[in-house]
Chain A
Amino acid sequence: MNNDKLVSIEEIIEGLKKAKEGVKKQPGLMKSTVGYLDAVSTYVERIATAKQDGKWVASHGTQQPLEILEAMDVRGVFNEFWGVVSDIVRLESVPAALSVSASTGTPAEVCSFFRNMDGLMHAGKWPRSDFFLYATSCCDNVKSFHTLGRRYGIPSFGLERSYFPYTAHAMEHWKNEYKRLIAFLEEQTGKKLDYDRLKETVRLSYRLTELHLEIDKLVSHVPCPLSPECFSGTLVAIRLLPGTQKGIDFLTELRDELQERVNAGIGAVRDERFRVMWSSFTPFFHPTLMSFMQQKYGAVSVADMLSHWRGQAKWMLDPDDPLGNLAYRTVVAPGNCQYSSGVDVGAVLSDKAYRFKVDAAIFNNNFGCKTGAGYGPVIKDELMRLVKVPTLTLDCDVLDHTFISRADVESQMDSFFEMIEGSKAYQERRALV
């Protein structure tokens, strides 16, 4: 099998570098776009240089306390992010990696983020990892971390998390799981955790949360000041860079620019006709879809269903108990709330849709995602019931561009926005804006 199409970490670094230079020359983009790409580049470069910097690398899934990793000189590779950045840098890489994965016997119905990881590992193109970390979540694919760890001789550790996280027992259990994780990392690295350092990464992470909430308030303005090129800025910072100064620097820059735009009344588009909430992003191989929507329909992407904090997000309960804080953070953090019932998620998202004045939702029914397949319809019905927001369900594979054509997506959008414009709920909402 020819693996030339598979993207390597060096090629990703080079691709991001070129993209950063490109946006500097492109007029009309938000200034923070450079900072956004810089944050992403930094994340990748830290992985590439880990060994020479005397650090370790952990490939991992969701629900991970990255603050602990940061305090223990461990740099994370979030496997879902790797699929996204692969798509952005080299479109043909993911389908090629999926083919490699299929050749090992992994079925095509398994999530493509994990099959991409499987294929790249099999071909030796996955970032060098010292260990794999994973946790119970809504996603059953986390089993693959153990499976692949065994296959490639990489130690792995799984954090077990109760489905009902709010009881005292469940929180205590989760905190103890963190202690077991620390013991695992200490054994692997031969270094003891410095708790003062952990307190500092937790403090930085909390500051990142505060910035995220400030940005959310600004983005909810009409017209929405956030342009597509920075749409996933907060999610990137929160999910990849918690506990780092880099994350704070980027979100501070983004917050300040959004504030300027709000003050000046600058919106992402001149005539904002629709405000859209995505399940996460566009299918990742079509990042220009948001700009297309703005131009064609005046539809601005204002929110996603992943980057929301449950409740008040005041997770810093006791500065002297960093593990207790992190245990609580995990259950309210963006992207982790999906480990819950669809009704619960639907209620939280309805609240978000209300606060962001959303007119329409687009839900990617990602082919390999059984969670989305199971709770998508419930969320759709809750959004309609509670805030009268209709949902377009896009059957796609968010990583594999061969699954659905761009023309098909655009055609579905045509009829969707036409339908919304004619709806009573939309007209009533617009009358209030």
Chain B
Amino acid sequence: MNAPLQTLTEMQRLSSPFPESVTVKDWQATGRKVIGWFNPYIPEEIIHAAGMLPFEVTGDNEPVQMQGAEAHMHSNSCSKIRTCWQMQLDGKYNFLDGLVSSHMCDQDMRLFEVWSYYKKLPYMDSLYAPRKRDEVAVKLYLTDLEGFRSRLSQFLICRVPDQHIENSIQVYNRGRELMHQLYELRKRDRPPVTGAEALEVSKASARMPRERFNELMEQLLAEIQRTGREIKKARRLMIIGNDLHNTTQVAALESADAVVVADEMDLGIRRAWGQVDTKLPPLEALARYYVLGRPVDKHTWDSDERLAFIGELAEQYQVDGIVSENVRFCTYLGWDKFDLKKQMQERGIPILELDLEYGHPGGAQMRIRAEAFLEMLESRAG
């Protein structure tokens, strides 16, 4: 039995209570602002460069009871956006000074609109998230970033200068590098962290000042080295699909004899892969990174590269099986299902498909399905 990671405990302490944590309170106590963001097409670097705390708007480990959200968005919207809106109705996000979203998926934009309409914040902004990955798309996105920087500057009555953005890029690049190192360690036969622990680390990265997160990441990596921590489980799994923020879902998978060693979530690898080019003008560098520099995600029209990346990642991490989790009503993942299954079959990688409601706890049903999946993996191995 491994001892809990002390650094992770500290990350969790700083991120608690969720969402208005001690970190948020300390930050705002000094008169500084907190800007919420929804999806991975919002460059946190620009918010950071403006001296504000970027904070990802999500649910967490406690399921949220829908008691009003569906009056403003019907129940056939995805449960992630309804969860976030319910938390707003419950007053949990009252601390936000602003909110930024992107048209990565229409439901994210609808949440943004509902927020604008029923509870407008002092700063609200949105960007377009290109569906193609080419030079034209970079130019289109860059124009939006320039507008974003201008509007944010107007809000602050202070220009956000290039130099500040360059500095923020370096800070965030360092964070990506450290997170990537943790992913590399998970390639080991006996990885040093569970998937549930790794998810908690990723969540912390979007909930506290990045400088502080980077310090803690360095401590975490040192602690792992010092303690020689190892997770001894028979089967290696990878999670793909929608972002999970309820860690109990991952823990339920790992309650059997398996460990999650990799993922393909926006919250996971897309916060840890690649680097923003520091030789380019900062906004152009950000545009290139956000459009071209990360693994292809579900919203990109051409998902060939996404599916190929999943296959390659599964092979690199030597996973025995993939758990594909779809939050109900996610259109993008719905359209990838057929080809995903086909391509993974061709690679000989078994898939467990889980249709979930966002934020639901990892209960008995998930454990039973995970156990059945692991039994199947066992019989293949035998």
- Could you tell me which A residues sit within 8 Å of B by CB distance? 104-107, 109-111, 134, 136, 138-144, 146-147, 150-151, 158, 160, 162-164, 169, 173, 176-177, 180, 341-343, 365, 367-378, 381, 393, 395
Q: Of A111, A158, A341, A376, which is within 8 A of B331 by CB?
A: A111
Q: How far is the CB of B18 from chain A (nearest CB, A)?
A: 25
Q: Please name all residues of chain B whose beta carbon is closer than 8 Å to the beta carbon of A143 when the two chains form the complex.
A: 131, 299, 301, 303, 331-332, 335
B334 touches A107 (CB 8 A): yes
Determine whether B116 belongs to the interface, using a CB cutoff of 8 Å to chain A.
Answer: yes
- B168 CB–A CB distance under 8 Å: no
Q: Answer yes or no: B21 CB below 8 A from chain A CBs.
A: no
Report whether A377 and B71 are in contact in the complex, using a CB–CB cutoff of 8 Å.
yes
In the complex where A143-B303, A158-B132, A163-B128 touch, is A150 in contact with B113 (Cβ < 8 A)? no
Asked if residues B71 and A140 are in contact (CB atoms below 8 Å), the reply is no
Contacts of A104 in B (CB 8 A): 338
Q: Give the residues in chain B near A176, CB-CB below 8 Å.
A: 136
9-residue interface stretch from B72-80, B271-279, B315-323, B367-375: B72-80
In whole angstroms, what is the CA distance A173 to B143 when docked? 11
Chain B binding site: helix, strand, loop or mixed by DSSP?
Answer: helix
Which among A107, A144, A370 is the interface contact of B326 at CB below 8 angstroms? A107
How far does the Cβ of B164 sit from chain A's closest Cβ, in whole Å? Answer: 25
Question: With A158-B301, A370-B329 as given contacts, are A106 and B337 in contact (CB-CB < 8 Å)?
Answer: yes
Given contacts A138-B106, A140-B106, contact A374 B302 (CB under 8 A): no
User: In chain B, residues 57-107, which have Cβ atoms closer than 8 Å to a Cβ of chain A?
Assistant: 71-78, 81, 103, 105-107
26 residue pairs A–B, Cβ–Cβ below 8 Å: A107-B355, A109-B331, A136-B103, A140-B106, A140-B332, A141-B335, A143-B131, A143-B299, A143-B303, A147-B338, A158-B301, A160-B130, A160-B136, A162-B128, A162-B144, A164-B128, A173-B139, A173-B140, A368-B76, A373-B77, A374-B77, A374-B107, A374-B113, A374-B114, A378-B72, A395-B74
B76 pairs with A373, CB closer than 8 A: yes
Give me the interface of B with A, judged by CB distance under 8 Å.
Answer: 71-78, 81, 103, 105-107, 109-111, 113-114, 116-117, 126-128, 130-132, 136-137, 139-140, 143-144, 299, 301-304, 326, 328-329, 331-332, 334-339, 341, 355
A370 touches B76 (CB 8 A): yes
User: Closest CB-CB distance, A118 to chain B, in whole Å?
Assistant: 9
User: In the complex, what residues of A have CB within 8 A of residue B131's CB?
Assistant: 136, 143, 158, 160
Among candidates A139, A151, A370, A374, residue contacting B339 with C-beta atoms closer than 8 Å: A151
Per the bound structure, the CA–CA distance linking A369 and B136 in Å amounts to: 29
| Smallest CB separation, B109 vs chain A (Å) | 7
- A110/B73 contact (C-beta < 8 A), A146-B301, A146-B302, A342-B110 known: no
The 3 nearest A-B residue pairs measured at CB: A374-B110, A373-B74, A140-B331
Known contacts: A104-B338, A374-B113. The answer to whether A163 contacts B331 by CB under 8 A is no
List chain A residues, Cβ under 8 A from B114. Answer: 342, 374, 377-378
Q: Which residues of B have CB within 8 Å of A150?
A: 304, 339
Query: Are B76 and A367 touching (Cβ within 8 A)?
Result: yes
- How many A-B pairs have beta carbons closer than 8 Å: the answer is 142
In angstroms, Cα B296 to Cα A146, docked, is: 15
Given A107-B355, A160-B131, A367-B76: A375 and B110 within 8 A (CB)? yes
Q: Which residues of A contact B329 (CB under 8 A)?
A: 109, 370, 373
Question: Considering only CB atoms, which chain B residue lies closest to A122 in the complex?
Answer: B338
Bound complex: CA of A69 vs CA of B137, how far in Å? 24
Q: Are A365 and B126 in contact (CB under 8 A)?
A: no
Query: By the criterion CB–CB under 8 Å, are B339 and A341 in contact?
Result: no
A residues near B299, Cβ cutoff 8 Å: 140, 143
Identify which of A105, A160, A163, A376 contacts B74 (C-beta below 8 A): A376
Q: Are B331 and A370 closer than 8 Å at their CB atoms?
A: yes
- What residues on B are CB-neighbors of A365 within 8 Å? 74, 76
Nearest CB on A from B240, distance (A): 15
Rounded to whole angstroms, the CA-CA distance of A200 and B140 in the bound complex is: 31
Once the chains are docked, how many angstroms separate the CA of A14 from the CA of B113?
45
Give the distance in Å from the alpha carbon of A375 to the alpha carbon of B108 in the complex: 12
Contact residues in A for B137 (Cβ distance below 8 Å): 160
Contact call A109/B106, Cβ cutoff below 8 A: no
A370 contacts which of B106, B301, B337 (Cβ < 8 Å)? B106
* Contact partners of B127 in chain A: CB under 8 A: 163
